[in-house]
Chain A
């Protein structure tokens, strides 16, 4: 099984450009998440989707939008990239918000905004 798959793995954007980060999971999980990881800051939640058809803001949602396309896929969009969005982005999935179980992470997308 592939688990959680993120694309692309690396991306360089110019300030003001837009892009969409893709995430897909094949574990039939209800909940999906987008985190960003910055040095010394740990993993901070950007948006989450508790179940298909729902999305909610996390700790650092400004400058981002998300779409839960179906149960498998959860995308993160940067409408107008800024240097402050340079980060490593991780998608994760979990059985559900009402089940305290393991979260599975993708390999990450390293994004640089110049």
Chain B
């Protein structure tokens, strides 16, 4: 059972464009939704995270939009740059026990063309 579904699998964007990656979750107990960025040969690193008490969080060019009723959240990368080319993972978790583990989506490979 895939608890976090991520789309698209791959994305090609021109420099300066907007990259949008979407995730949907099933478990309504989830209350922490991070996005991780991974460059080739490296481990994933936290990019930005949101909790369900807000509908949007912005950090620089990166924005998470959260729709609790639809059980969806998305990552928007404004003014995309070639240096943003990486694999992006959404994730979700809640408190305690096995639900305290991060459940990851399958990832989106983003390529930003110069």
- The finding on whether chains A and B are genuine partners in a shared complex, rather than unrelated, reads yes
A residues adjacent to B (C-beta < 8 A): 4, 31, 33, 35, 40-45, 48, 50, 56, 58, 90, 92, 94, 96-100, 102-103, 105-108
Which of B13-21, B38-46, B53-61, B78-86 is near enough to bind chain A? B38-46
B93 interfacial by beta-carbon distance below 8 Å = yes
Task: Considering the complex, give the chain B residue whose CB is closest to the CB of A97.
Answer: B100
B residues adjacent to A (C-beta < 8 A): 6, 9, 31-32, 34, 41-46, 49, 51, 89, 93-98, 100-107
- Tell me if B45 and A105 are in contact (CB < 8 A): yes
Cross-chain pairs A/B with CB under 8 angstroms, 7 sampled: A33-B101, A41-B106, A42-B6, A43-B107, A45-B102, A100-B94, A108-B43
- Tell me if B97 and A105 are in contact (CB < 8 A): no
Partner of A100, one of B51, B89, B103: B51
Rounded to whole Å, the gap between the CB of A5 and the closest CB of chain B is: 11
- Tell me if A31 and B100 are in contact (CB < 8 A): yes
Partner of B104, one of A4, A43, A97, A108: A43
Residues of B within 8 A of A105 (CB): 43-45
